[in-house]
Amino acid sequence: MSDSRPGLNPQRLIRLIQQAVDRCDLQLDNLTVLTEAATGAYAVTPIVAAIAGAKKVFALTRTTRYGTIEAVKAQILELAELAGVSERLEFITEKTEDIVAQADIITNSGHIRPIDPKMIGWMKPTAVIGLMYEAWEFRPEDVDIIACQHRGIKVVGVNERHPSVDVFSFLGIMAVKLLLDQGIAVYTSNILLLCDNPFSSFIERGLVNAGANVDTIDNIAAAPTDKTYDAILVAMQPRPDPVLTARDASIIAKYWPGTLVAQYWGDIDRATFASYQILVCPEVEPKLGHMAILPSAVGPEPIIRLQTGGLKAAEVIYRQSLQDSNSAMAFVQLL
């Protein structure tokens, strides 16, 4: 099912895309891009590449719970025709050696993953993989980094805090929405923010701007036990084991019974928390290592900014590898 919110109307999306391309000075002239064709806000990625001048954009699509292949194509073609770039798009339904070998830039998008040794072996030596997130957020299951190193394939993260991208400024708004959806008003609410990564100040600022009283810590054992909280917002960097243990659950149950644990990022052993009668939201548990609320939940703006910035970072590294001087390295985060 596609996202039919009024804020995603085609005319607005094209306007936002053009603004993002201009802000980032994204120039993909004469380049071939391999990315995904998805629904909702994520329908914009191939359009961003085409508007930025890519000579060919291969858009991989599949039938998912969000829509059939034909429905995805229809949504993206509507955008492409409005932007006048439909002739640059080619929809595909599988990754093949012939197509991968043509790509100068390959995005680490949902349908493209995993980027495994077989796929990496098909790439041209100058190809660049754009992670479409910051380098420190790297998930090993997305891209076989060892195979990339063996072949000299560059993998690049985007600086989401670059002023022309500025995706991190949406993190606080996402936290507010996550809590509002669970019946926590945020305004005048007491929130314990548990965060051990660069998201911290951005999430805290968003909550405070919405009127919340926020205590920010990076370890539940450091929390003030003489306070009551309406919610504990967990935004911890994922690791092989859950970010909150049975010991953490026992502390929460002892000092803040009845408090909602809002899973923003970082895996939680929900069965253990349930045994302590601790409520964890959202109801649908995210995939391991993934955020429980996507930037698209608050509208298309953060997705357009992120995809444009991710393509820009890949463009910078691609042109640098061809000895083309470029002053835009501030967009780039290398692994």
For residue 221, the domain's CATH number is 3.40.50.2300
Radius of gyration of the chain (CA): 21
Q: What is the pLDDT of residue 260?
A: 98
Token duo for residue 263:
């899973």
Query: Is 130 part of a structural domain of the chain?
Result: yes
pLDDT above 70 for 327 = no
- Would you state the structure tokens that stand for residue 333, as one six-digit string? 């985060």
pTM: 0.92
Confidence of residue 65 (pLDDT cuts 50, 70, 90): confident
Average pLDDT, integer, range 156-161: 96
Q: What number is the average pLDDT over the span 100-112?
A: 96
Same domain, yes or no: 157 and 197: no
Domain count, the chain: 2
In three-state secondary structure terms, 189 is coil
Quote the CA–CA distance of 305 and 105 in Å, as a whole number: 18
Write out the residue range of the structural domain in which residue 226 sits: 182-281
Asked if residue 156 has pLDDT above 70, the reply is: yes
Q: For a pLDDT cut of 90, what percent of the chain falls above it?
A: 88
Integer Cα distance of 68 and 61 in angstroms: 9
Q: Tell me if 291 is assigned to some domain.
A: no
Statement: residue 272 has pLDDT above 60 = yes
334 has pLDDT over 90: no
Mark whether 118 and 219 lie in a shared domain.
no
Same domain? For 26 and 136 the reply is yes
| Same structural domain, 64 and 109 | yes
Residue 325 shares a structural domain with residue 270 = no
Same domain membership, residue 304 and residue 273: no
Residue 28 and residue 56 share a domain:
yes
- Phi, psi angle pair for 318, to nearest 5°: -60, -50
Average pLDDT of every residue of the chain: 94
Residues 60 and 138 in one domain: yes
Q: Indicate whether 255 and 123 sit together in one domain.
A: no
For residue 2, name the pLDDT band (cuts at 50, 70, 90). Answer: low
Residue 174 lies in a domain: no
